[in-house]
Chains A and B, each alone.
Chain A
Amino acid sequence: MAVTKMALRTLNAEPAELKERLRAALDADQVELPPLPQVASEVVASGTADPRNAAAFSQLIQRDPALAANVMRIANSAAYRPRAPIVSLQQAIAWLGIGEIRNIALAVCVRGQLFVVPGHEPEIQELWRESVATACWACELARLKKRNVESAYLCGLLHRIGRAAAIGTLSRIEVAGRHTVAARTFSALADEFEVDFGRKLASQWQLPAAVCEAIHGWRNAGRTTGVTPEVLQTYVGHLLAIDLLHPELGNLSLLADHGALGELDVYPDELEALRARRDNVLASIAQF
């Protein structure tokens, strides 16, 4: 795959220039971003497990042997504890339900497109685990408050695609320029361009409005008012994910400081009941 367009191939490793050129390339629409595979596109387009699309969706997965194999591998993982080995997609659907299969297929596609960056495996893998955990926690929150679960999953899974895309682009710049960007500079630039790349991807992939809002607004959800429940769920899901993966950071205290839990009407006992489901979330992360 052609990684970036000519405008980015001549960048050197000077942080200021790198930043300036990256900004110019973004503004001029010169950054090449990966397309959304058809299966994932189908999931985000309907945004839901609409039963009308179930049959067509399973046929779509079957037409992509690599994806079907990945879905089967995950369906057979410990997270889902099948009674007997699952050997067909139909069997996987019967065991897990089309809604779960859709989530798995989306995750496999998005991971394949965005969360594979040679040379930056630890960071991108961590980002992936964080995204899956956020999606799982957002789903739990949505179930607790009787809100739409599919939308919560999408928002959680995709809330940091901007950072993944920024890392991918910076990595391709490194490869094209045959030099290495200092780790600190790399991380700072990924931070700075996360939202811009997220906005670009959201537009290119035609993501639903709720997901776009989550991508743009999750960081400030605890500090601003008038935020949608999906954005709040993503924010709380993110903090719970970080707490699950890195309890030593003490990120959960942010939940108490900010008003997101209150905005979602989640009381302390409900939060504790939610956190008691951490093993389910860990199992979901492990399956990928």
Chain B
Amino acid sequence: MAGDAYDYVVIGSGPAGQKAAIQAAKAGRRVALIERQREVGGACVHSGTIPSKALREKALQLTRARQAGNAFQLGIVASVPLSALLAGVEEIVAAHDRYMAAQLERNGIRCIRGRASFRSPTALDILRVDGTRLAIEGERILIAVGSRPRQPPELAVDHEHILDSDSILSLPYIPRSMVVLGSGVIACEYASIFAALGCAVTLIDKAAEPLGFLDPALRTGFLTAFQAMGGKYRGGVEVAGARFDGFSQVEVQLRGGEVLSADIVFAAFGRVANLEGIGLDRLQLAISSRGHVQVDEQYQTNIPGIFAAGDTIGPPALACAAADQGRRAALAALGLPPPAHTSLVPSGVYTIPEIACVGLSRSGAASKKIDVIVGRADFSEVARAHIAGEATGFLELLCDRSTARVLGCQAIGEGATDLVHLGQAAIATGATADFFIEQIFNFPTMTEAYRIAAFDVLKQRSVPHAAHLKLAHAAN
């Protein structure tokens, strides 16, 4: 067993681990990155973010091709195998893998393939895929082992008839019908993608509405679009179990006795951290009741020198947040000054249509008792949206009533996840709604939505507060 010592060791090569390793290497430290899989990138690249977004793009292309086919009286194939839609995904993933591996190499990071487990707070034992072992030491260690789909005990996910987000893309066909269990981001993303592909999708969850963390306007926007594609949402429903009938259908038993049938069931009950087998029991690391590693504001665990970031530490479980956490954790571990703290983490939901928000929400403003004006731009008023044939959706700016300072931004519609970044920049720089009126933007672009929303803010600010409230009540 050959040993090696490093300044900084990262376990896991997802967004958090990768960015942490690069940050430490750029600071001149000797860095090792341990990854159990053949390729770097973690679930984000290989079974989650990248493949699902690629499928989403293909679903949109197919939908547009069908629409164009109707418009130009061209015959477009009604049904396309899922495998055909996923044909280019492997190349996308491979390209991502190639440039990430090159980036790590360029920065002189030693990538070690294997499973790591702690022998002590500074020593790791690595089991390679060929069965050989390697011992290494790290002055500082980052746990960035990611997460996997949670499997509730009442549901046997067989990956053939009852699938989760790790196996859904192995389906070679588009089912006629699908029951999606859950109402979070992953559930709604896949539900809308399959609905767009022509599958009859029923979303089921205990929550009254899907995507409960979003503002009501966004939730309603999603539901309206989902239902327009033939999707159904059944809230307030609890699942007792599900089983394949042996012939062609999966039966989902609801508490109360009702049984629903579908070709496929997709279970999306959140994710759990991959903490098994890394020897945490030897360290007595503090773990939360939900199975996440507990960290302080510098991403340090209760064991000095051991840090954690990404899905390992729980919500928001976003790739962008994980990458930022990884960078900050590396800087903290190496005693380097962190960049200015920002609480601005945009949320992107890649449903059809896209949803994104950043900064203050309506509910956030209400709970913090911040008086805000919500300026709204419907995409039906935006020239570029009509040109693109995507005139459904809206953008909202949440501004402080007294100063017009932009505090929040949210959008639903095609391109929302990109569009919201301009609002984020406005929030970060302390801009007011006037900024969007004073600046000259390209035309026609979706940025016009900001100008329309800003004018709406201005208009409302010109109305006396009491009168505005009265108007608002009347509108409700």
Contacts and interface: CB of A to CB of B under 8 A. Distances in A.
Interface of A: 46-52, 54-55, 93-99, 143, 146-151, 256, 261-263, 265-268
Contact of A98 (B47, B129, B247): B247
Nearest to A270: B129
Contacts of B167: 146-147
Interface of A is mostly: helix
Contacts of A266: 129
Chain B, interface size category, equals 20 to 34
Given A95-B246, A99-B160, A143-B159, A51 B170 contact: no
Contact of B129 (A50, A93, A265): A265
Contact of B160 (A55, A93, A149): A149
Interface string B91-114: 000000000000000000000010
B127 interface: yes
B227 interface: no
Contact of B176 (A46, A52, A147, A265): A52
Nearest to B132: A268
Closest 3 pairs between A and B when the two form their complex, measured CB to CB:
A51-B248, A54-B248, A146-B167
Contacts, number: 73
Contacts of B244: 97
B172 interface: yes
Interface of B: 36-38, 47, 113, 115, 127, 129-131, 159-160, 166-167, 170-173, 175-176, 244, 246-249, 263-264
Contacts of A54: 247-248
Nearest to A142: B170
Nearest to A146: B167
B172 A98 contact: no
Among A55, A97, A147, the most chain B Cβ lie within 10 Å of the Cβ of A97
A96 B129 contact: no
Contacts of A146: 47, 159, 166-167, 170
A46 B248 CA distance: 15
A265 B159 contact: no
Contacts of B173: 46, 48, 50, 52
Given A48-B173, A51-B176, A146-B166, A267 B247 contact: no
B401 to A, nearest CB: 51
Contact of A267 (B129, B166, B176): B129
Contact of A51 (B38, B115, B130, B175): B175
Given A52-B176, A146-B159, A256-B130, 14 more contacts: A46-B173, A48-B172, A51-B263, A52-B173, A54-B248, A55-B248, A146-B170, A148-B170, A149-B160, A261-B130, A262-B113, A262-B130, A265-B37, A267-B131
Given A51-B176, A151-B172, A262 B263 contact: no
8 contacts: A48-B173, A98-B247, A98-B248, A99-B160, A143-B159, A150-B172, A262-B130, A268-B127
Nearest to A271: B131
A93 B172 contact: no
B247 A268 contact: no
B246 A97 contact: yes
Contacts of B115: 267
A15 to B, nearest CB: 41
B129 A262 contact: yes
A96 B246 contact: yes
A47 B81 CA distance: 11
Contacts of B38: 262-263, 265
Contacts of A261: 129-130
B247 A93 contact: yes
Contacts of A55: 248
A48 B160 CA distance: 10
A82 to B, nearest CB: 13
A149 B167 CA distance: 11
Contacts of A263: 38
Contact of B249 (A47, A51, A143, A268): A51
